[in-house]
Structure 1
Amino acid sequence: IRMAGLTCRKKGAKQKHIKKANLKTKRFRRDVDQVVLEDMLPENEKKLLNQPLDEHKPGMGQHYCVHCAKYFISDIAIETHFKTKEHKKRFKTCKEIPYTMEEAMRAGGLQPAKPKFTKAIYAGKTKMADLEESKQNEDMQ
């Protein structure tokens, strides 16, 4: 005869969900718009690539990929990273114009549209290099 009552249940599913939430913040990397608008500026990029020794970062903070916002242990590790699909995808997305809050406000109708910006987008100028060229042309005129 068996006694009625609760049976021992597995706890696996609950623990998996907790781990996923923790890993999201543990492996957090900077978003593409943050990287393009802040880290890829020439003065900031120099600082990131020539950091002082820091024992709390991987590889003492000496091997850093600006596009992926990631530290690596050694030169060999970062060289192999440059050949990966993940880095090549991130490098390609960093060349594009990032989505800004101002653009979101204009799309929602909360701000008036800027004709120069919309003309540039509709002309197929979606790369950062195209945007910089158009700024230089405006300065010359």
Structure 2
Amino acid sequence: MSEQNNDSFRDMNKKEKVITVAAITLLIFLVVGFVIGLFFFGLAGLFELLGVRYHSIWSLLVFVVSFFVLGIFVDLFFKVFYKITVRNMIGKVNVGFFRFSFDCLSNWLVLFTVDEFMKSITLNLKAEIIIALLLAILEIVFDSDKE
């Protein structure tokens, strides 16, 4: 009788583990979807203000997802380069200037790269620079690091 209870307990544990993993996976997808949604609507608004034309909503979605994915890798590289550059620097103004410069450059590089590979969206240089500047400002404002 106790073996039967033990087996049912193991089965319950497996079911609970599957439910827990599924719930965490769903939560991760929701968070990533929310962030991509913010990028999507933010860039759609900026594109409208800057007069950027795109063929369809799907091309804008592909642009945003590509920007997001490529941005993760480029930001990793630029973060390391930034940390190495400013590790011996004194003065908050100098460090802030370098932080803004690195963030702006990384955002522009990602925007330029995604724009060059996509033919359904065409950004002019002015729009790329304005968007890169705005994204750099937002990154600095919302960054939780206290330097």
Calculate the TM-score normalised by the size of structure 2: 0.28
* Structure number having the greater helix percentage: 2
* Structure number having the greater strand percentage: 1
Q: Which has the higher contact order (CA 8 A, sep 6+)?
A: 2
Bigger Rg over Cα: 1
